[in-house]
Structure formats: structure tokens, C-alpha cells
Structure 1
Amino acid sequence: MTPSADLTLRAARPSDLAALTDLCLRSKAHWGYDDAFMTACRDELTVTEADLPGITLLENGASPIAMVQLTLDGDTADLARLYVAPEAMGQGAGRRLLDHAITQARRSGAHTLTIEADPNAAPFYERLGARQTGEVPSGSIPGRKLPRLELPLTP
């Protein structure tokens, strides 16, 4: 799938929940995790109605190909989720959504974007200026650590 001018950004709706959960699961599985790992992550990757206010999706026609979830707290914004469908990886969808999240965070007065990344995704964020500031425990896998990154939002 090649992203085209037909791609649109829009706020997620309740009718998107199943498709967004599927997108998150397929995106995570792309990194070669086994079935046991994916089962352990299922709850954390499930998109619920409570998540919707901060989610923007990128769709190609009627199908979401990527999604981002941003939460704001004062001068800090948190990139809670950014998932891209495997067939759209490497084609600019993730960058487009990250740029969107950065714009939204800046408009809200945030000075820093925090990211708790899958270790496989951390290089993507680092190429775009984020720096690892530590590690955080996984919300799904006991003993697993995830890189914590920060991206400054001030020029």
C-alpha cells in the first residue's frame, strides 16, 4: 500500500474501535513477537471508548492505516500510542501522525513530548530528534523494560 493524497486525518469514533485494536495488534506483531507475547499484550493494545478523545487516525478510504493517541498534561504531552499497519510502514504514515501530534501538543502549550516506545520503534523516534532518557516497565510483560524517550517541542 502506498500512501497517497487520498489519505485523510480524522478523529476516531466509537465505530472505529475494532479496526483500531486490530491495527495495534497487527502493528505490534510485525516485529516478530510470538503468540504468548501477543496474548499478554492484548489488553494493553485494545482501544476502548475511554481512549477515543485523544486518538487521530489516518485512513485510506474507509480503512485506518495508522493511529496516534496523544494525552496532554500541562507543559508535557505523552505519545500514548502510535501504530502503523504493516503494509503502510516505511511510507510516511508514522511521520505524518507524529507531526500531527507534535503540532497538537505545541498548540496546547506543551514543551516536551514523552514516548514510551517498543524497542523496535525507538530508532524511528530517535531519527526525528527524540532522545532516550531512561526506561519504564512494560504494562504487559513482567520484567520487560521499554525505552522512555523525550522530544523537545520548543524551537
Structure 2
Amino acid sequence: MVEIIQANTDDHKILTDITKKSKAYWGYSEQQMNEWSDLLTVSSEYIQNNKVFKLIVNESIVGYFSYMNIENNLVRLDNLFVLPEYIGKGYGKLLLNHFILNIRQSGITRIILDADPNAEKFYESFGFIKTGQIKTSIKDRFLPIMELVL
């Protein structure tokens, strides 16, 4: 059984674990992962203050996405992560499709995000376009800024 439902504040530890394991999947060093630890932590306050939806497969939380309203017609997709053993099996697509459908139904017309460079092609496959980039703490690494107009 697969379902996507709103996360609750008690989910913060499992969502943090999913975030860190998913990020590490792309081969970042242990030192880099430690430097990013605070940035990759999902707090109960974050869940309370943003829209966070978890993916449950066979009664286990295996992924999630979160977003925030920026303006009347603009939202920021802040996170989309699945556990490494679920990467490449369609669960990220399931989460992103669910997110886009809900945003489209709400009347919002634009989505922005800062993508991990490893996920740029994934977002492009949904119609997101790179509109800029952000320099990161890793030398010669940039995060693509992406946008989808609905």
C-alpha cells in the first residue's frame, strides 16, 4: 500500500534520517555531510510551519516533500527526498506529481526550487527550467535555481 499524507511534528527524526541518507546517496564525503548536518535537519518546528507530506509504503515512511508559500501565485519546493533503496523506482516521480497536482489545483501558477546538481535532470523531466544558479560551499559546485510555470 502506498499513500501520501501530511506529516506531523513527531515525524521530524525520520524525515531528517531520510534527508541525510538520500543526500549521502550522491557520494558526498562524510566531512561534507557533517558540514551540512544542520541544513539537512528537519525540526518539528519546520513541520509545524511549512507544508510537509510524507510517502508511506507498506506502513513505513520512505520519502517526503515540503514546500512554502512565497507569494499569492508562487511556492518554493523546499525538499523532496526518498530513501536510497527507493531511488530510481518511481517514488520521487510519485511525490513530485502529487505536489504539482495539488499546487495546480490550488490556483498557484509558479513553483521555484534550488536543486541538487544530481537532481537537475529529474526536475527538467517535469518541465522545470533552470533560471539561475547559487554558488555553494563546495569549490566549483553550483545549485541550479529552477522554475515551473503552471
TM-score (norm 2): 0.90
Q: Which of 40, 43, 65 matches 1:45?
A: 40
Q: Which moved more, 1:99-108 or 1:73-82?
A: 99-108
Matched-pair identity in %: 34
The size of the alignment, in residue pairs, is: 146
> Over residues 72-92 of structure 1, what are the superposed CA-to-partner deviations in whole Å (9 max), with x where a residue is unaligned?
221111110000111001111
Q: Distance in 1 between matches of 2:115 and 2:22?
A: 13
Q: How big is the shift at 1:142? A: 6.4
Partner of 2:122: 124
SS state of the match for residue 21, structure 2? helix
> Over residues 29-87 of structure 1, what are the superposed CA-to-partner deviations in whole Å (9 max), with x where a residue is unaligned?
00000011101111111001222141101011332111000112211111100001110
Q: How big is the shift at 1:118? A: 0.4
Unaligned stretches of 5+ residues in structure 2 = none
Unaligned stretches of 5+ residues in structure 1 = 1-5
Partner of 1:33: 28
Partner of 1:22: 17
> 4+ residue stretches of structure 1 with deviation over 4 A?
none
SS state of the match for residue 130, structure 2? strand
Could you tell me whether the CA contact under 8 Å between 1:72 and 1:110 is conserved in 2?
no
SS state of the match for residue 56, structure 1? strand
Could you tell me whether the CA contact under 8 Å between 1:55 and 1:68 is conserved in 2?
yes
The alignment yields a C-alpha RMSD, in angstroms, of 1.5
Q: How big is the shift at 1:107? A: 2.8
